[in-house]
Amino acid sequence: MTVFVEAKDVPTNLKQPLSNLLLSLADDEFILGYWDSEWTGVAPTLEEDVACSSIAQDEIGHARIFYQEVTALTGTPIDQLAYGRELPDYRQAQLVERHRGDWAFTIARQFLYETADLLRMESLSTSSYQPVAQAVAKIRREEVYHMMHVDIWFERLAQGTPTARQRLERALESLWPDALGLFEQFPDEDMLLQNGILTTSNAQLQQAWLASIAPDFARLHLAFPASPSSHSDVPGDVQYLPLITPRLGGRYGQHTQDFRVLWEQMTMVYRLDPQASW
Amino acid sequence: MISESEETRVTEFRDYLARGGKVEATDWMPDGYRQALIRFIEMHANSELMGALPERDWIMRAPTIHRKLALTAKIQDEVGHAELLYRLVEDLGKPRSASIEDLIAGKGKFHNTFHYATKTWADVGTIAWLVDAAAIVSQHALRDSSYSPYARTMQKICWEESFHMMHGRDMIITMMNGTAQQREMAQEALTRWWPTLMVFHGPDTPAEKDKDISVWHIKSKTNEALRQEFLNAQVPRLREVGLIIPDAELRYDEQRERWIYSEPQWDDLRAIARNQGPATAERVGFRRMSYEDGQWVRDTLLQRHSTTTAEYIA
Amino acid sequence: MSDFSGNILGQPMPSASDEGEVFEVFQQDQKDPFPHHGGNVRAPDGELAVHYAREFYGRRQESSRLWIIPRSALLEVRTQTPLPPAREMFGDGETQVNAAQSFAVFGQKQAGRPLVWVQDLEEMAPEDAEKVTRRTAQNIEGGYVRLWVCPRSAILELTNQDLLQPPLDRSYRRLDGYNIREKLRIARQRVQAEKELSS
């Protein structure tokens, strides 16, 4: 298996697929970080305000690393990547672009995203593209804190007051279709898999993810919109079949009204003069 | 009507402070001192918390990744400082919920600067540079406060805030080195904020009349001394990058060794002291709304025992 | 609030918090020989207290170790304070701890300075711990202004370096992450040029 040590080792036919992959990873973190940073100053407690802000900064920092890898491949500067694209050129999953909602919505989304990202980062840690493998090694260390934080809150809301529980359930119901869209197939995914840049397909990752969180949902008596069914020819192999329709399109530039609103705000100052230094 | 021995105790306490004595949270203190501290520190806490509001919208609009990170970290620090300061107030006897309830009822006082709206990206840089510079001057002077928990917190806050001013200055200098439109934006922001900065440290009250200095030694420098320090440090720095300060009178008098300036608008400051500043109602209203929105979360946090899952099975 | 021995000279510490508990935080970085008091934090319980301690005393990578101690487990012992304790303000706690165990002792050498870890006391009864602490306060040259004692078992320790020393660049929040020298030079040059033009 070829190992790509740096950007210039990547053959021309792989550049676009790799760049799109990196943009997806970057955009996921950047847009998630956008909404998480919106809690700064208005979180339910001052202590959570500070904690949430650290997590948001981490996410933006992770996005920055991935944007820097795109710059290495394409030459486009990171701020132009982050702020200078038109709406259909962004590649985040629609899960992360939904407005932050109330605290339950933020925690529910965080739980779904972090548990999924845990598996995605693990699978990328052995990518044949070395810069990604190295970036991911650092990111995984920082995600330990995020996972701890969201685990604590997910439990507390699920086992909290009736109001907390209800809000969590409502949030999850609203988010599940988007969560299933986290593992939408990437453009040119087959090519990326063949070259080892991706080590696991999205379909496989989704199965691993559903299997990893099903026990939590069962334990907390929360609705889980996927039912396990065993393969008859492979004893013990459980496949999770989603019972709801996933909302797809993010990886192909299809986005929601929430993202349109976000993009207007986010690029407001940048668009005053995209050539200017700020 | 306090007893004679109580009165003696208070006098001894005041003498102790005058000699440079330090006080910890578990020490005996006269009620006058306790109340003065609560009022002083609570206003500081309220200001940090309310200060986050005019700035946080701009996190969403920051035009580069670096600026977005820096601004988020800066506001995070301010909220963190509010937490540290409300903790001090709690240890003096007033619960945080009471302080916040006073704030959202429009009774809690907060610093004048945060009663004004922010209009452009240049405001963000101006506030980070100049409001923080003004605050740093005050906070440095509080590091030898008679109340040691406050003094130690000021040391921590000063250390944490060291990057805030630099980040603001970096932003403004970048704009001044940029396009004509950017320079105009920076100048317009300074012109608009200058009057507020001139009243930041409060009226020129002599030390003898300021009980927080002369009686309780919570602070040691007069308002005017702080303002002079601020002007001394920042006026040359503003001028050297081409910014014009909108006060034709402003100059340094070599003989009197002080900055001379036009009389600030003290009426505006008095309106603010009554919580009637230009953006006060909107800002307090916003704070009230976000506090109320979070009540269900605080309720669930306080719940000591997790309810059995049996209750939730349909 | 625990009262180790019923001895009224030992003071449980104050707080008017009506939402959660107060936790005192001791921090230590690579260069420190032992932990020193950084401040305190409020949390509903120990699990979140550890998180919040990381935020308030570790988010700048300023600590490699944190000790998080519920205030209710700490007893304050005073010897030389010039001011009397505010005894009349705080009620007695319930008597708790009876069995022999280890204790940590923290001391404040000088008025206004933060407390630092002084010593551990191994396997003794609470009343003895208080007596030893009081002797420590008086015997050490110069003495201690005041001391805190707590059972070692009450200390929540955070040493996870993923949390305290995360690897990615955070220079945007540090003074040394900014270098305006070149920008200042350009600005001054421009201002000089404008002056020359107009004169």
Beta bridge partners of B262: none
Contact flag B162-C40 (C-beta cutoff 8 Å): no
Interface membership of C186 toward B (CB under 8 Å): yes
Q: How many CA atoms lie within 13 A of C27 on its CB side?
A: 22
Whether residue A231 is predicted with pLDDT greater than 70 in this model: the reply is no
Label residue B3 by pLDDT band (50, 70, 90): low
Contact flag A144-C43 (C-beta cutoff 8 Å): no
The amino acid that residue B193 corresponds to is W
CA distance B197 to B193: 6
Q: Which residues of B touch C180 (CB under 8 A)?
A: 166, 169-170, 173
Contact flag C54-A145 (C-beta cutoff 8 Å): yes
Contact flag B97-C19 (C-beta cutoff 8 Å): yes
Label residue C18 by pLDDT band (50, 70, 90): confident
Q: Which one of B52, B55, B72 has the shortest CB-CB distance to A57? A: B72
CA-nearest residue to B90 within chain C is C16
Provide the residue count of chain C: 199
Label residue C127 by pLDDT band (50, 70, 90): confident
Contact flag C169-A149 (C-beta cutoff 8 Å): no
C50's tokens: 């550890």
DSSP H/E element including C23: strand C21-28
Q: Which residues of B touch C195 (CB under 8 A)?
A: none
pLDDT, position A237: 72
Contact flag A47-C52 (C-beta cutoff 8 Å): yes
Contact flag B296-A159 (C-beta cutoff 8 Å): no
Interface membership of C55 toward B (CB under 8 Å): yes
- Contact status, residue B38 vs residue B238, Cβ threshold 8 Å: no
CA-nearest residue to C194 within chain B is B242
The amino acid that residue A262 corresponds to is L
* Whole-number Cα distances in Å, B176 to B10, B164, C183: 55, 19, 9
CA distance C122 to C18: 35
Please count the helices (runs of H) and the strands (runs of E) in chain B: 13, 2
pLDDT, position A232: 56
pLDDT, position B145: 96
Task: Lowest mean pLDDT of B187-191, C10-14, C62-66, name the range.
Answer: C10-14
Q: Which one of B83, B170, B240 has the shortest CB-CB distance to C191? A: B240
CA-nearest residue to C167 within chain A is A138
Burial of A30 (0-12, 13-18, 19+ CB in 10 A): buried
Contact flag C168-A138 (C-beta cutoff 8 Å): yes
Label residue C9 by pLDDT band (50, 70, 90): very low
Contact flag A47-C41 (C-beta cutoff 8 Å): yes
A199's tokens: 């080590």
- Find tokens 């300060």 and name the residue: B245
Interface membership of A61 toward C (CB under 8 Å): yes
Q: Under CATH, to which class is A7-272 assigned?
A: mainly alpha
CA distance C2 to C126: 11
SS3 category, C43: strand
Contact flag B309-A220 (C-beta cutoff 8 Å): yes
B238's tokens: 């503003």
Q: Which one of B60, B178, B300 has the shortest CB-CB distance to A266? A: B60
Label residue C198 by pLDDT band (50, 70, 90): confident
DSSP H/E element including C25: strand C21-28
pLDDT, position C13: 67
pLDDT, position B282: 85
Q: How far is the alpha carbon of C127 from chain A, nearest alpha carbon, in Å?
A: 36
Torsion sign across C-alpha atoms C35, C40, C46, C52: negative
DSSP H/E element including A196: none
CA distance A79 to B132: 27
Whether residue A235 is predicted with pLDDT greater than 70 in this model: the reply is no
B287's tokens: 């704070």
Taking only the tens place, the pLDDT of each residue in B75-96 is 999 999 999 999 999 999 999 9
pLDDT, position A103: 98
SS3 category, B123: helix
pLDDT, position C14: 66
- Find tokens 């610093």 and name the residue: B111
Taking only the tens place, the pLDDT of each residue in C50-102 is 999 999 999 999 999 999 999 989 988 886 567 777 754 333 344 345 678 89
Whether residue B311 is predicted with pLDDT greater than 50 in this model: the reply is no
Interface membership of C83 toward B (CB under 8 Å): yes
Interface membership of C162 toward A (CB under 8 Å): yes
pLDDT, position A9: 95
Interface membership of C46 toward B (CB under 8 Å): no
Contact flag C41-A138 (C-beta cutoff 8 Å): no
Q: Which residues of C touch B69 (CB under 8 A)?
A: 172-173
Domains of chain B: 10-297 (1.20.1260.10)
Interface membership of C52 toward A (CB under 8 Å): yes
The amino acid that residue B20 corresponds to is G
Contact flag C60-B84 (C-beta cutoff 8 Å): no
Contact flag B174-C172 (C-beta cutoff 8 Å): no
Contacts of B172 (CB under 8 A, 6+ apart): B122, B125, B126, B129, B186, B241, B243
Task: Lowest mean pLDDT of A103-112, B57-66, B262-271, name the range.
Answer: B262-271
CA distance A52 to A33: 10
pLDDT, position A152: 96
pLDDT, position B306: 39
Q: Which residues of C touch A44 (CB under 8 A)?
A: none
Most B CBs within 10 A among C183, C186, C194, hence the mutation to make, goes to C183
Q: What count of CB pairs under 8 Å joins A to B?
A: 143
Contact flag B97-C82 (C-beta cutoff 8 Å): no
pLDDT, position B2: 54
Chains that touch A (3 or more CB pairs under 8 A): B, C
pLDDT, position A233: 63
CA distance C142 to C51: 37
Q: What percent of chain A has pLDDT over 70?
A: 98
* Whole-number Cα distances in Å, B14 to B10, B19, B28, B97, B211: 6, 9, 12, 31, 11
CB burial string A40-67: b at 16+ within 10 A, e below: bbbbbbbbbbbbbbbbbbbbbbbbbbbb
* Whole-number Cα distances in Å, A153 to A41, A57, B59: 19, 19, 25
CA distance A176 to A95: 9
CA-nearest residue to C161 within chain A is A141
Interface membership of C24 toward B (CB under 8 Å): no
DSSP conformation class of A110: H
Q: How far is the alpha carbon of B15 from chain A, nearest alpha carbon, in Å?
A: 38
Q: How many CA atoms lie within 13 A of B126 on its CB side?
A: 27
pLDDT, position B292: 94
pLDDT, position C80: 59
Provide the residue count of chain B: 314
Averaged pLDDT for residues A86-94: 97
Contact flag C188-B173 (C-beta cutoff 8 Å): no
Is pLDDT larger for residue B282 or for residue A149?
A149
CA distance B185 to B164: 20
* Crossing angle (nearest 10°) for helices B148-176 and B132-141: 160
Contact flag B72-A37 (C-beta cutoff 8 Å): yes
Most B CBs within 10 A among A42, A106, A107, A155, hence the mutation to make, goes to A42
Label residue B194 by pLDDT band (50, 70, 90): very high
Q: What percent of chain A has pLDDT over 90?
A: 94
Averaged pLDDT for residues B34-49: 96
pLDDT, position A238: 80
Contacts of B124 (CB under 8 A, 6+ apart): B55, B58, B62, B71, B118, B168, B171
pLDDT, position B116: 80
CA nearest neighbour of B128 among B169, B88, B99, B96: B169
Contact flag A152-C42 (C-beta cutoff 8 Å): no
**Domain spans of chain A?**
7-272
Mean pLDDT across chain A, nearest whole number?
95
Task: Lowest mean pLDDT of A124-128, B230-234, C111-115, name the range.
Answer: C111-115
Chains that touch C (3 or more CB pairs under 8 A): A, B
Interface membership of C160 toward A (CB under 8 Å): yes
Contact flag C170-A61 (C-beta cutoff 8 Å): yes
Its pTM surpasses 0.90: yes
Task: Lowest mean pLDDT of A93-97, A228-232, B227-231, name the range.
Answer: A228-232
Averaged pLDDT for residues C21-26: 96
Whether residue B270 is predicted with pLDDT greater than 90 in this model: the reply is no
Most C CBs within 10 A among B6, B9, B26, hence the mutation to make, goes to B26
Whether residue A250 is predicted with pLDDT greater than 80 in this model: the reply is yes
Interface membership of C8 toward B (CB under 8 Å): no
Q: 10 Å Cβ neighbour count for B293? A: 13
Task: Lowest mean pLDDT of A152-156, A219-223, B94-98, B307-311, name the range.
Answer: B307-311
Tell me, letter by letter, the H, E, C secondary structure of B6-57.
HHHHHHHHHHHHHCCCCECCCECCCHHHHHHHHHHHHHHHHHHHHHHHHHHH
Label residue A202 by pLDDT band (50, 70, 90): very high
